């Protein structure tokens, strides 16, 4: 059905991409609400729900798009979706948020989360910039590389839960999305409806994005770095803007950094295990940009007494992104 609709022109592909993003974001929202309510029924704390259900939920758009991409064989879209999302998360979302209100960092973010996001970016760059030590003929993220990313993700989860257990006061007072009291039947319906929305949205986005790239004569990589990456970053964008409006920007930093870690270690790792992800033209620039973004954030929060990303830091992030995007578009 999607293929038949796409025959009408590029404008149909554009509309289907927008509809796909709506289905994807709402699906993730319903899934988080329903799963959180069910977890609450079993007596699971808000803190644990926030560390698992909500954290996974905000990464579900990227995860679903990647699973559909690897199933369709469009591996360029799978990698650029993640790299593009992380680049937009760091440079655009944190940049805009810092311009609205300086972003305060927590000690946990400075000492563990941000360094882990730097490691994630550097690892991806290493995978695609050097020949694989596992015997693959081409550069890229192999299955063994994907397994390495998943092992690091398991370590990240272990450290996060241990920190939450040792510092329970840090989670008190935090409002966790989706923990309101609702019936089990409605919660199950929300979970099922969310899954349907995610699958339908992922199919619409991937197939329409590939068709749009073909019609416009650009690579899937550019579409993935821009349109698809921006769309799958909508949950992080909405959360960060709301946090900035409430002058609670430490939530914005944790949300973005946590999403970047999930994207690389979990989503990209799982994608590579399902289907190895070969490198594409320009991937070294994209991987390096993702790593540099995390490095800049770490420098910003470590080089002032307030431990925050100030407005001038937000402006620098936006300017660097503008320079990077201009370079990539010129060198298509």
Strands (E), 211-314: 277-278, 308-309
Lowest mean pLDDT among 63-67, 69-73, 178-182, 292-296: 178-182
Lowest mean pLDDT among 3-17, 183-197, 210-224: 3-17
In sequence order, what are the beta bridge partners of 233?
A: none
Q: Which two tokens stand for residue 60?
A: 């579900």
Residue 305 has pLDDT above 70, yes or no: yes
Residue 299 has pLDDT above 60, yes or no: yes
pLDDT digits (tens, 9 = 90+) for 133-146: 555 555 788 899 99
Q: Which two tokens stand for residue 237?
A: 């964008």
**Tally of residues, the chain:** 332
Question: Which long-range CB contacts under 8 A does 208-213 form with residues at least 24 apart?
Answer: 208/2, 208/6, 208/13, 208/14, 208/16, 208/17, 208/20, 209/13, 209/17, 209/77, 210/72, 210/74, 210/77, 211/6, 211/10, 211/13, 212/10, 212/13, 212/14, 212/17
Percent above pLDDT 70 for the chain? 82
Helix (H, G, I), strand (E, B) or coil at 103: strand
What is the spatial distance between Cα 296 and Cα 285, in angstroms, rounded to a whole number?
Answer: 16
**pLDDT for residue 87:** 93
Residue found under tokens 């992030």: 317
Which whole number is the average pLDDT over 58-81? 84
**pLDDT for residue 101:** 84
Ordered structural domains, the chain, with CATH: 2-330 (1.20.1420.30)
Arithmetic mean of pLDDT over the chain: 81
Which whole number is the average pLDDT over 187-195? 85
Q: Which residues 6+ apart lie within 8 Å of 15 measured at CB?
A: none
pTM to 2 decimal places = 0.81
State the sign of the Cα–Cα–Cα–Cα dihedral 73, 74, 78, 83.
positive
pLDDT digits (tens, 9 = 90+) for 250-278: 667 877 888 899 999 999 999 999 999 88
Q: Which residues 6+ apart lie within 8 Å of 272 measured at CB?
A: 141, 142, 143, 145, 146, 149
Name the pLDDT band for 177 (thresholds 50, 70, 90): very low
Q: What is the bridge-based pairing of β-strands 140-141 and 103-104?
A: unpaired
Nearest to 195 by CA among 69, 73, 67: 67
Q: Which residues 6+ apart lie within 8 Å of 41 measured at CB?
A: 184, 187
**pLDDT for residue 86:** 92
Name the pLDDT band for 200 (thresholds 50, 70, 90): confident
**pLDDT for residue 119:** 93
Which whole number is the average pLDDT over 168-186? 60
Cα within 13 Å of Cα(332), Cβ side: 16
The DSSP annotation for 168-211 comes to: GGGGTTPPPTT-S---HHHHHHHHHHHHHHHHHHHHHHHHHHHH
In sequence order, what are the beta bridge partners of 310?
A: none
Q: Which residue has the higher pLDDT, 120 or 168?
A: 120
Q: Which two tokens stand for residue 103?
A: 């972003």
pLDDT digits (tens, 9 = 90+) for 101-125: 888 888 888 888 899 999 998 999 8
pLDDT digits (tens, 9 = 90+) for 219-250: 777 887 887 887 777 777 776 766 667 666 66
Buried b (16+ CB within 10 A) or exposed e, 104-124: bbeebbbebbbebbbbbbbbb
Residue 296 has pLDDT above 80, yes or no: yes
In sequence order, what are the beta bridge partners of 309?
A: 103
In sequence order, what are the beta bridge partners of 308?
A: 104
Query: CA Rg, the chain, in Å?
Result: 19
**pLDDT for residue 75:** 82
Residue 173 has pLDDT above 50, yes or no: no
Which whole number is the average pLDDT over 153-177? 71
Which whole number is the average pLDDT over 292-314? 91
**pLDDT for residue 172:** 46
Nearest to 90 by CA among 303, 191, 236, 282: 236
**pLDDT for residue 55:** 67
Q: Which residue has the higher pLDDT, 294 or 129?
A: 294
């Amino acid at each position: 059905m999607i293929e038949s609709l796409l025959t009408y022109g590029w404008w149909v592909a554009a509309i289907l991409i927008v509809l796909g993003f709506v289905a994807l974001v709402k699906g993730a929202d319903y899934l988080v609400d329903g799963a959180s309510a069910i977890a609450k029924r079993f007596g699971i704390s808000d803190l644990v729900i926030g560390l698992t259900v909500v954290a996974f939920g905000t990464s579900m758009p990227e995860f679903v798009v990647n699973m559909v991409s690897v199933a369709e064989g469009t591996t360029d879209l799978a990698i650029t979706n993640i790299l593009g999302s992380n680049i937009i998360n760091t440079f655009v979302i944190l940049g805009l948020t810092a311009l609205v209100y300086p972003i305060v960092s927590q000690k946990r973010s400075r000492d563990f989360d941000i360094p882990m996001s730097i490691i994630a970016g550097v690892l991806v760059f290493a995978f695609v910039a050097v020949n694989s030590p596992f015997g693959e003929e081409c550069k890229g993220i192999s299955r063994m590389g994907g397994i390495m990313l998943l092992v690091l993700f398991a370590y990240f989860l272990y450290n996060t839960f241990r920190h939450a257990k040792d510092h329970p006061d840090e989670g008190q007072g935090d409002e966790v999305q989706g923990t309101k009291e609702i019936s089990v039947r409605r919660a199950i319906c929300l979970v099922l409806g969310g899954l349907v929305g995610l699958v339908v949205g992922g199919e619409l986005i991937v197939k329409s994005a590939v068709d749009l790239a073909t019609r416009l004569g650009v690579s899937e990589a550019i579409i993935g770095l821009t349109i698809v990456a921006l769309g799958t970053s909508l949950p992080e964008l909405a959360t960060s803007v709301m946090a900035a409006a409430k002058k609670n920007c430490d939530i914005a930093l944790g949300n973005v950094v946590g999403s970047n870690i999930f994207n690389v270690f979990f989503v990209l790792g799982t994608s590579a295990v399902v289907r190895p992800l070969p490198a594409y033209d320009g991937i070294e620039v994209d991987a390096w940009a993702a790593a540099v973004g995390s490095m800049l954030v770490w420098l910003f929060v470590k080089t002032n007494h307030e431990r925050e990303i100030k407005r001038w830091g937000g402006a620098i992030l936006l300017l660097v992104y503008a320079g990077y995007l201009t370079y990539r578009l010129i060198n298509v």
